[in-house]
Structure 1
Amino acid sequence: MRTVGEILKEARIKKGISLQEVALSTKIRPNFLEEIESNQFNKVAEGAVVKGLIKNYAEFLDISSRDLLAIFRRDFIEDKNGQILPRGTYEPLDNNRIAWTPKTTLFLGGGLLVLVFTLFFLVHLISFLGSPPLTIQSPKDGLSTKESSIEVRGKTEADNAVYVDGEIVTVTPEGNFQQMVSLSAGENKIKIEAVSRRGKKTTKEITVNFISD
C-alpha cells in the first residue's frame, strides 16, 4: 500500500515539478515538503497543521485531499500532545486506578484485573491480526437494474482503506463508505476490498445486471 508521502512525491515527479516550485506556489517550506514526502510528519508540526499542509499540497497537485487524508488517518495517529505517531506505536496507559485495599480485596481485585486485561489483549490481538470487517449494504448481489450506474455503500472500520474496483474510496470516521460505479450492458462484477493497516484484506464481489433498452 502506498503512503501519503509516496503518493505526493510520485504525483509531483510525474508533473515535472521541483520542490522549490511547490514551495513558491503553496508557501510551504521546502524542508517541510521533504519531510512530508518522507512520511516524517513528527518533524513538521502538530497534527492539525500537518493535515492542513497535506491538504494544500494535495490540492496543488490536483489530488483528492479527502482520499489522501483518509490514508493519513489509516497510517498515523495524533496523541494527546498533538504529536503525529505511526499507528501501533502509541498506546496510552491508565495507572490511576491502583489503590490500597485489604488483602482479600487485593487478591480478588488483582485476579479480576488479570482476567480483564487478558481478555482485552486477546480481543484486540484477534482484531489486529485478523481480516478487517467489511459489510456491503447495497446493492444486493444479483440485482437487476435499468440504471447505467449504481451506488455501492458499505461499512468497515474507520482506519481501514477501501477500494471499489481498484479505486480508493473515502471512509468516514464512523467507518461508512459509498461510491458510484458505472455499469456496462449485461452482467457486471463489482469488487470491494477492505485493507487494514497491517495489510490484511477482506474482499467481496457482487454481481449487478444492467438491462439496457
Structure 2
Amino acid sequence: MNQMVKTQTLGDLLKTNRKKAGLELEDVAKATFIKLKYLQAIENDDFAVLPNASYAKAYVSNYAKLLAVDPQPLLAILRRDYRESAKGRLLPREFLKESFKKAKLFSPIRLTVSAIIIMLLSFALYTAWQWFSLNRPPRLVLFQPEDNQVTANRVVVEGQTVMDAIVLVNAQPVALQADGFFNTELYFDIEGPTTITVKATDRRGKTSVVQKSIRVEF
C-alpha cells in the first residue's frame, strides 16, 4: 500500500534542534532579538510573513547559530524551496506549492535515501551542537549604557549572562541575580571619552567581553 510522506522542511529542522537544545521560542527570541511572531513563522515555513528575503536569511542564520547549527545547509534549503518575488518577499516555488496541496508519493528507494540523508543531517547537527555547547563562550548582553552615550559622572551598567558566570565591570566583580541579571554603578571624576569593559567567565573558563564607549560630561 502506498504511503503519504512529507519531507522535513527548514522550519521542522530548526524546531527539532531547538527542542533538542531544551529551548522555548521565547528563549530564542530573547537571545536573538528576533520577534516571536517571526520565529513562529519560520518554524511554520511561512516566510511570506517576514519583512523581506534579506531579513528571512538573516533570521534563519542567527537562529541556526544560536542552536550551534551550520546555517549554510539551511540557507541552501531556503534557496531551493523558495524564490524571491519582485517585491523582495520569499514565496514557495511551484513544486513546493503542489507538494503541500497534496501529499507526494515516494518510491521505496527515494524513501530510503531521504531517511538516510535526514539521519546523517540530524547526527551532524547534534554533533555540532554538542561541540559548540562545550566550546562557546557564555552569552553576555549589555543593556546599559548605550554605545557613544553622553553621561554625567554616574553611569548605570546593566546586563545579563549565564547564571554560573563571574562578571567583572572595569575589573571590579559584580554580583549576579538568580536569573543571571547584573546591575552596578560606576563613578567617574574625569570628563572625556572612556570605555566600559564587561567580562563574563563561566565555570569552564570561557570568557565573553563586551565594551561600550561613552563620554563623561559634568
The two structures have a TM-score, normalised by structure 2, of 0.41
The two structures have a TM-score, normalised by structure 1, of 0.42
